[in-house]
Amino acid sequence: MAAYGSLVWVGQALGPLTGAITEELIRVTEQMIPVTDIAFDLADMRAASIAENVAVVQYVLANNVDPATVSPSAAATAYAQRLARRGVPLTVLLRAYGLGQYRLLDAAIGLILAVPGPDQPARIAELLEFAGRYLDRLNSSMGRIYEAERDRWLSSRQAARQQWIARLLDSDDVDVPAAETALDYRLDRRHRAAELWTTPTTTGADAARAFEQARQLLSTAMGAEGAELVSATGARDMRIWFPVDGDPVAHDVLADPIESAGLPVRVTLGPVGEGLPGFRRSARGAARAKALVVSAGPDAPGVVEFDAVAPFALLADEPDELAGFVRRVLGPLAEDTTKTTLLRHTLEVFLAEDGSFSRTARVLQVHRNTVQYRIQQVTGRYGISLDTDSFEVRFALGVCRWHRQVLTAAT
């Protein structure tokens, strides 16, 4: 036990002063940390917390109690928990304790200085040591109480939010006004859902920062009309609904900021939808596009819109039929090799450019003769005919790009 017996008389002398110290401390705390910063209904709780903290310090000193054994008062605990539930930063709480310590030290040092003697410096040093130990104990305890309550509160709020969102997505009997109140998000407008996820190697802190930056970039690019509805769907997965107005913005406007920022985040976007049906449809589209991007692997674009890949996303539940179709149309060109991957990509660009060798070369950034050589291989060695309607070939190539499981092993 730390011995502070020589300070017992200081604690006893503080007894008659605690009322005045408490009143002054409440007033000073209000001036330096206005109650409007934490909400008016917390004023009484803060005053009670200050009063009990002052009383505890006086008691500990007067009775030579080891400060390392002191627990926070009931009022201080309740106040910290309320702040945590309100989302008030912990620094507000710890700053108030710092102010309290300063005022009590000032009063206690004044008492020591009022009694002349050669031991004044030693008594003041002992008092400062006591104050340091006591504040360290208090801050540590209150920090743990605050964080535990914050985590519990956030967990319960998140669970409630997830339940409301699940009802909105899946239930035909949902109280929409109650959901809007619980989620603080209006449903009588246009929405666009996005799925965001990071790589498994991204740490939790890095993922949180990347998600927040991506959210801000997407919100700005879309011209979001108000606060988004954010829902964590996993440790490294997030779904966001953006309230939007007007037609969807161009893909480049959405993708370029994400790619330029170099964020370790992939994004898929659902179609814009109106009201609760649009809220659901956009979420389904974003989720289907995400499944497609995951299927395509790391070479898939970082930002993908459902509308651009809908024909392939809607077929995700038919893997056997897709594989049979690809084998019938592409034959050996559907093998999973580096060479066939290059040839499929060249052919896909060639068809998109209406059979122009020069434009294909420009898109692929290769020589025109290189394109001609590759297309000759496609038509000669692999037997792909380009003289008829190319729809089946285009579609099969897209399936290979997005559903890599349909590719066959090289023989």
pLDDT tens digits, 114-151: 888 888 888 888 888 888 888 888 888 888 998 888 88
**Torsion angle in degrees (nearest 10) through CA of 261, 264, 270, 276:** -100
- pLDDT, tens digit (0-9, with 9 covering 90-100), for 286-314: 998 998 898 888 888 999 999 888 888 87
Structural domain count of the chain: 3
Residue 281 is predicted with a pLDDT of 92
Per-position b or e across 57-78, b if 16+ CB within 10 A of its CB: bbebbbeebebeebebbebbbb
* Residue 385: pLDDT band with limits 50, 70, 90: confident
Residue entry with tokens 């966001």: 240
This prediction's pTM: 0.57
Handedness of CA 178, 184, 189, 191 (dihedral sign): negative
Instruction: Note whether residue 127 is domain-resident.
Output: yes
In whole numbers, what is the pLDDT of the chain averaged over residues?
86
CB atoms within 10 A of CB 116: 6
* Residue 410: pLDDT band with limits 50, 70, 90: low
Q: Alpha carbon 137 to chain centroid distance?
A: 32
* Residue numbers of the domain that contains 286: 204-313
Instruction: Note whether residue 245 is domain-resident.
Output: yes
Q: Could you tell me if 156 and 81 are in contact, meaning their C-beta atoms sit under 8 angstroms apart?
A: no
Up-side HSE of residue 213: CA atoms within 13 Å toward CB?
A: 17
Q: Do 262 and 281 belong to one domain?
A: yes
Residue 356 is predicted with a pLDDT of 92
Distance CA 215, CA 197 (A): 12
403: tokens are: 């559903």
- pLDDT, tens digit (0-9, with 9 covering 90-100), for 70-126: 888 888 888 888 888 777 788 888 888 888 888 888 888 888 888 888 888 888 888
Secondary structure letter of residue 184 according to DSSP: T
Mean pLDDT for the stretch of residues 174-193: 92
Q: Do 27 and 148 belong to one domain?
A: yes
* Residue 361: pLDDT band with limits 50, 70, 90: very high
Distance CA 254, CA 271 (A): 13
Residue entry with tokens 């040092």: 109
Domain end among 245, 280, 313: 313
Instruction: Note whether residue 147 is domain-resident.
Output: yes
Q: Do 144 and 37 belong to one domain?
A: yes
- pLDDT, tens digit (0-9, with 9 covering 90-100), for 254-276: 999 999 998 999 999 999 999 99
